[in-house]
């Protein structure tokens, strides 16, 4: 039973982290649009597609595009730090998610700068330099890896022989199901 709990925890939390990372990233774009006087036409959040935010009018596109990875990395990090200060149970889940978001956003922006893809392509078109995008990745991705360091035991790895906190496993599964349902209900149209 402990291996089942371990596999369920790892798979459900990875899936949750992927979907939640996209949601926080898009929240950044939405906030960027709102503060810059832009209009959010639609947000695509669906479990089976890559997320996207369409802004029109977009008077400050560089701000809007940078806010996605900035908020997408900073907000989960702040949530982890608050959870740490408040000594919340399951702190390692907050830590893992913060690391996941930093790595994903950093690799996405730095890697995208090499080919001018997606948000990175927009950043380059609107005036950012390639070195800025690569620097962003060089700061965020290693910080994410640092947060992940030493977390294996919590996920049944590193000599823990598959033992995980069963409550964390079911919380993770619940969060994944809840997020999928919310995305399908609120953002179901692709």
| Structure token digits, residue 173 | 């599964």
Question: How many whole angstroms separate alpha carbon 81 and alpha carbon 85?
Answer: 6
pTM of the predicted model as reported, rounded to 2 decimal places:
0.95
CA-based R_g, the chain, Å: 17
Query: How would residue 138 be classed by pLDDT, with cut points 50, 70 and 90?
Result: very high
CA distances 25 to 51, 136, 154, 156, 161, Å, are 9, 15, 26, 29, 35
Q: What does the pLDDT look like over 98-107, one tens digit per residue?
A: 999 999 999 9
Q: What does the pLDDT look like over 41-95, one tens digit per residue?
A: 999 999 999 999 999 999 999 999 999 999 999 999 999 999 999 999 999 999 9
The average pLDDT across 98-117 equals: 96
Question: How many whole angstroms separate alpha carbon 161 and alpha carbon 153?
Answer: 9
User: To the nearest whole number, what is the mean pLDDT of the chain?
Assistant: 96
Least confident interval from 117-121, 135-139, 155-159: 155-159
pLDDT > 70 fraction of the chain, expressed in percent and rounded: 99
Assess contact for 8 and 39: CB atoms under 8 A: no
Question: Taking 70 as the threshold, does the pLDDT of residue 169 lie above it?
Answer: yes
Question: Taking 90 as the threshold, does the pLDDT of residue 1 lie above it?
Answer: no
Question: Taking 90 as the threshold, does the pLDDT of residue 140 lie above it?
Answer: yes
């Amino acid at each position: 039973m402990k291996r089942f709990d371990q596999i369920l925890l790892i798979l459900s939390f990875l899936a949750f982290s992927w979907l939640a990372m996209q949601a926080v990233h898009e929240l950044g774009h939405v906030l960027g649009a709102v503060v810059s006087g832009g209009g959010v036409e639609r947000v695509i959040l669906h479990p089976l597609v890559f997320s996207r935010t369409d802004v029109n009018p977009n008077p400050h596109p560089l701000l809007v595009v940078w806010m996605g990875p900035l908020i997408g990395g900073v907000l989960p990090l702040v949530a982890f730090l608050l959870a740490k200060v408040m000594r919340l149970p399951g702190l390692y889940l907050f830590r893992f998610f913060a690391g996941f978001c930093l790595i994903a956003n950093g690799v996405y922006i730095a890697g995208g700068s090499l080919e001018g893809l997606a948000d990175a392509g927009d950043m380059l078109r609107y005036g950012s330099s390639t070195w800025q995008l690569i620097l962003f990745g060089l700061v965020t991705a290693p910080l994410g890896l640092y947060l992940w360091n030493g977390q294996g035991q919590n996920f049944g790895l590193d000599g823990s022989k598959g033992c995980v906190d069963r409550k964390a496993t079911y919380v993770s599964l619940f969060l994944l199901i809840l997020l999928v349902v919310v995305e399908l209900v609120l953002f179901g149209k692709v």
